[in-house]
A = this chain, B = another copy of it.
């Protein structure tokens, strides 16, 4: 254990600095030993919780946000862990490191260095519980895919198509003998961290789901003390990874053992203990038969600790309304999945999945993909990862490239009619999408006195065709009269 006090002399800005030290292994170090460190940059002091990593080893991680000289000093109720000091140099970020993602301009996102971040998510709930071979295949698939955010869970999943036991559990114990919710299994967490770093290397944000209802191990119904301990441990271990987002829950409203006060407390624990204020959200279940037309039973995304609304809803028309309601970014993290599953949430066409992305993004929100094709070995992207089989991902890449090439999309003052989803910057730039409607032509309302050039985009065929001439208010635009057409309208000169 002589390497414990060794630590890197240099770490890049928004990289993960790590300091390890030997400490007590007796009793329950997870609950009995407090270990933290104060990191200092000039006048700024940031106190960060560390964590017990097993075998008498303690660790504290830190993500410095400014280049220059940082120092630290540990704080502990265990004498040998208290008052340890050191310093390191924070250097310029390496290629592809733009820092953590933050809310930008009310409805949008940007990395800490100011680079816009256009979330294009996918869903592989428990890909990180599937064992080495499948997990590596998932990473290889992600490398080829258009996604830069992934929804994934800390806890394993119990549900249709999800009956195999995971390789590791977050806690000491077993399904047969029960788990000790006061003792974590560091091997599990080291594996999770490895996967978060793998995602980081691919430029993918880990939208980490902390609770979910699909459980046979007891993780969904722990006592409040255990919940809180778990959250603090997760934050202490993971917050220094710049690509972490905190998703309090998948379908929180299906977790009968938690009250709204519990969710408020969970948010506050994370808000208080995460020194970097990573993005925080919570995701709803909603029964279309009951709540189809309302968000009555949603967690109130207007609460101050919610950074963005993470929404499950199949109708992207409402994105505009939710933006206005919450004045925060809207991420529709579930809108049914491309596939052919027996379940209604998992059997939409590739056209419909693509359509949700176009409508949601043009209305100024963001959308998350998922894939649910029946598979002989029950390996389904939505939960297990593996390979992508569908046809929407290519179209989502096409859309992502279009959106990233333009300005952030807001609701235009121009009224492009209700059968079109439209986003843009008034007088400058508009993206207009007709979805499954198929007008043969359109007379466009445009701002007076400005000339525009227009490209016709076929969202399904992935073609962009410049239309002849320039266009002004009242111009007629001929269209092919088939579904999934869009217009990119840009000011000339």
Binding site for B on A (CB under 8 A): 287-289, 292-294, 317, 340-345, 347-349, 352, 374, 417-420, 434, 436-443, 481, 483
Chain B proximity of A20: nearest CB distance (Å): 50
19 contacts between A and B (CB under 8 A): A293-B294, A341-B439, A341-B440, A342-B440, A342-B442, A342-B443, A343-B419, A344-B417, A344-B418, A345-B419, A347-B438, A347-B481, A348-B436, A348-B438, A349-B436, A349-B438, A349-B483, A352-B436, A374-B481
Residue of B nearest to A344 (CB): B419
Are B440 and A374 in contact, CB atoms less than 8 angstroms apart?
Answer: yes
List 19 additional contacts besides A342-B441, A347-B439, A374-B441; criterion CB under 8 Å.
A289-B418, A340-B440, A341-B440, A342-B439, A342-B443, A343-B417, A343-B439, A344-B420, A344-B437, A344-B439, A347-B434, A347-B440, A347-B481, A348-B436, A348-B438, A349-B438, A352-B436, A374-B440, A374-B481
Are B418 and A340 in contact, CB atoms less than 8 angstroms apart?
Answer: no
Neighbouring B residues of A434 by C-beta, 8 Å: 347
Neighbouring B residues of A317 by C-beta, 8 Å: 292
Residue of B nearest to A374 (CB): B440
Q: Which of A287, A341, A342 is the most central at the interface, judged by chain B CB atoms within 10 Å of its CB?
A: A342
State the main secondary structure of chain A at its contact with B: loop
Neighbouring B residues of A287 by C-beta, 8 Å: 418
CA distance A417 to B417 in the complex (A): 33
CA distance A483 to B340 in the complex (A): 10
CA distance A292 to B437 in the complex (A): 17
Are B292 and A347 in contact, CB atoms less than 8 angstroms apart?
Answer: no
CA distance A345 to B348 in the complex (A): 24
Neighbouring B residues of A352 by C-beta, 8 Å: 436
Neighbouring B residues of A439 by C-beta, 8 Å: 340-344, 347
Residue of B nearest to A317 (CB): B292
A288-B418, A418-B288 in contact; A348/B440 too (CB < 8 A)?
no
Neighbouring B residues of A294 by C-beta, 8 Å: 293
